[in-house]
Amino acid sequence: MAFIDIKNLCKSFGSKKAVDNVSLEIEEGEVFGLLGPNGAGKSTLISMLSTLIKPDAGEITVGGYDLSEKPSEIKKFFGLVPQEIALYPTLTAKENLFFWGRMYGLGGRLLKERVEEGLELAGLSDRAKDRIESFSGGMKRRINVAAALLHHPRAIIMDEPTVGIDPQSRNHILETVQRLNKEGMTVIYTSHYMEEVELLCTRIAIMDGGKVIAAGSKEELQKLVGETETINIRISNMSGKEKSLIEKIEGVESVTVGEDKITIAVKDADSVLASVISQFDALKCKIHSINIDEPNLERVFLHLTGKALRD
């Protein structure tokens, strides 16, 4: 039996189905990624898993415990890193960690050790006595992660932990995830940053409109789009006819038009590129840059939903 077993999970808010009949299995010790655009249902799924909201239907089993029967047992397994900075801005980093440690039931010398450990993990031991409000966004995120690890949970749920932070802090968090996983911790990682999910996760579920539209390892998911490549063209002076004309070119599988960008999925970029450029030339469009990507999760998402991940 999987460490986390989710079966036919449903949750609606009014008439909107936020999570629609989702089933997943997550093994202990893996980094499981939930990939999807904003509003895909990732956060709702995570909220149900971390016992914050009750499902309308379906079952969740964690470590052999049924969530509907033993939510307090399940809470002990998890550490939650919410999407928001769930810290007290006017308390210092150390005071925050002490508070959260106590809430996780720690005390005495153990609590002190874990707080020191948390500060070290966040790389902020030298800023321990500074208030959270004086930290940069990245530093806050690092403490946000550290607070979820104080009680040494078996699994950590990270909901978009790198939103809006500097590259240095992002790298720090990604390295932390990798290190924790090496130490045996199960990680459930949600993001709409494809690169992060590709880098970290051993298995990935792609969500859209409240449903899991595909799940598997990175390689398994990439197979869904075959050997296709992506041509990304930055362009100006578009007339609006580009999409329909490019789609008619032989070898083109799909076309996505953005504000100043066109993404074209093709079987072989080399054989199609010349025709694409001449078509733009005929339409008097100005090409600024051309970039060819190998098959990736962005492409998978595009292939499965017909829209880009960040739309």
Partner 1 sequence: MIFRIAIKDLKIVFRDKKALAIMLIMPAVIMFILGSALGPMFEGSNPIERFTVVVVNKDEGILSQVLIQDGFRKHGADMLNTFLESDEEKANEMLRSKKVSTIVIIPEGFTRKFFEGYDTNIRIKTQADRQYNASVIKSITEAFCRQFYLYWAAASSGVEVITEIINEESHSDENTKALIPDITTVMFDMQQKTGAADIEFYGEKDVESEDGNKKRETVSGMQYYSVAMLVMFVLFGASTGTKLMVEERQSNTLGRLLTTGVGKVKIITGKFLGLLFITFTQAMILIVFTRFVYGVDWGRSVLGVVTITLCIAFSGSGLGMMIGSMAKTSSAAEGLSQLFIQTFTVIGGGMMPLYMMPGFLRVLSRGTLNWWAANGYYDLMLGSNYTAILPCCGVLILMGVLYLGVGVARFRTQAS
Among 75, 112, 234, 243, interactor with partner 1 by CB under 8 A? 75
Does 44 participate in binding partner 1 (rule CB under 8 A)?
no
Residue that is written with structure tokens 């978009």 in the block: 160
Per-residue contact track with partner 1, 3 to 42, x per CB under 8 A?
A: ----------------------------------------
CA dihedral 143, 145, 150, 152 (to 10 degrees): -160
Among 6, 18, 24, 80, interactor with partner 1 by CB under 8 A? 80
Q: Which is nearer to partner 1, 191 or 263 (CB)?
A: 191
End-to-end Cα distance, the chain: 37
Q: Which is nearer to partner 1, 84 or 281 (CB)?
A: 84
Residues in binding contact with partner 1, number by CB under 8 A: 28
Q: Smallest gap, in angstroms, from Cβ of residue 147 to partner 1?
A: 8
Does 87 participate in binding partner 1 (rule CB under 8 A)?
yes
Q: Smallest gap, in angstroms, from Cβ of residue 50 to partner 1?
A: 5
Q: At what angle do helices 108-121 and 137-149 cross, to 10 degrees?
A: 140
The stretch near partner 1 (CB under 8 A) out of 28-36, 103-111, 183-191, 232-240 is: 103-111
Q: Which is nearer to partner 1, 89 or 226 (CB)?
A: 89
Three-class SS state of 190: strand
Handedness of CA 220, 21, 153, 144 (dihedral sign): positive
d(CA 177, CA 66): 27
Q: At what angle do helices 108-121 and 93-103 cross, to 10 degrees?
A: 130
The stretch near partner 1 (CB under 8 A) out of 1-9, 43-51, 182-190, 237-245 is: 43-51
Q: Smallest gap, in angstroms, from Cβ of residue 104 to partner 1?
A: 5
Does 99 participate in binding partner 1 (rule CB under 8 A)?
yes
Among 56, 59, 66, 95, interactor with partner 1 by CB under 8 A? 95
Q: How far is CA 306 from the centre of its chain?
A: 20
Does 67 participate in binding partner 1 (rule CB under 8 A)?
no
Outline where 10-107 has alpha helix (H). 42-49, 71-77, 93-103
Q: Which two tokens stand for residue 215?
A: 């799940």
d(CA 233, CA 250): 18
Q: Which is nearer to partner 1, 80 or 265 (CB)?
A: 80
Among 23, 83, 202, 232, interactor with partner 1 by CB under 8 A? 83
Dmax (CA) for the chain in angstroms is 74
Among 20, 66, 86, 211, interactor with partner 1 by CB under 8 A? 86
DSSP 89-155: TTSBHHHHHHHHHHHTT--HHHHHHHHHHHHHHTT-GGGTTSBGGGS-HHHHHHHHHHHHHTT--SE
Per-residue contact track with partner 1, 131 to 150, x per CB under 8 A?
A: ----------------xx--
Does 50 participate in binding partner 1 (rule CB under 8 A)?
yes
Interface contacts to partner 1, rule CB under 8 A:
47, 50-52, 54, 72, 75-76, 78, 80, 82-88, 90-91, 95, 99-100, 102-105, 147-148
